[in-house]
A = this chain, B = another copy of it.
């Protein structure tokens, strides 16, 4: 059904909107530093995919033959620890490119990626990326800048994980969800995560996560409706996260 709609629109609009050059999300990532010709090559080689919530993009240890540019939806990047738990290392959203690290380092992926909401992604074969990396210093520098940013974020996560209590980390995670993914018209967090996913973001047991969220609810910091959650006292959560 969707396939049909896709072809239909493409047919009558000349498919202009499916070319990277016209893609808005490109503005947010390193692809903006590509020349017209390079972008054309990427556009010709790319494959657009639709993913349903829960679908995997790739698994840990898999060899990636390219990168994924997120057009819509959110993906969780996680790593299995030796005790069998999944640690979510990053949530990637519109405009972010997934898999760059592995392609650049020519290693198998250290993470697995899975859709946490319905997604639309473009798969870009690595040849289109790697050749540009060796020829266009502006592009390479742009990728470098993004990776420098990711590395700083990773450093911050390390400090939070090792120095803050579970309660502080959960408070922080909720604020993160609000600032990065926003709220819907009713004030609920736009990105709905299961309690298990939240627990895996902050690195705790699902039960502990549930217990702390219940506490937050009883204290009036948040409200819930089904799996949807709304922040009702941002101030308090922020104080908590900072350790007051």
Contact = CB atoms under 8 A, between A and B. Distances in A.
Interface of A: 79, 81-83, 85, 87, 89, 100-101, 104-105, 107, 110-111, 133-138, 140-141, 143-145, 147-152, 154-164, 202-204, 242-243
A85 B135 CA distance: 44
B149 A138 contact: no
A202 B101 CA distance: 25
A87 B134 contact: no
- Chain A interface helix/strand/loop/mixed: helix
A150 B155 CA distance: 10
Given A105-B149, A141-B140, A144-B147, A81 B134 contact: no
Contacts of A141: 104, 133-134, 140
A152 B101 contact: yes
Nearest to A202: B162
A137 B137 CA distance: 5
B155 A110 contact: yes
A1 to B, nearest CB: 38
Most central of A136, A138, A159 by chain B CB within 10 Å? A159
Contacts of A110: 152, 155-156
Contacts of A105: 145, 148-149, 152
A35 to B, nearest CB: 13
A20 B149 CA distance: 29
16 contacts: A79-B155, A79-B156, A83-B163, A83-B164, A83-B243, A85-B163, A89-B158, A105-B145, A105-B148, A105-B149, A110-B152, A110-B155, A133-B137, A137-B140, A147-B147, A163-B203
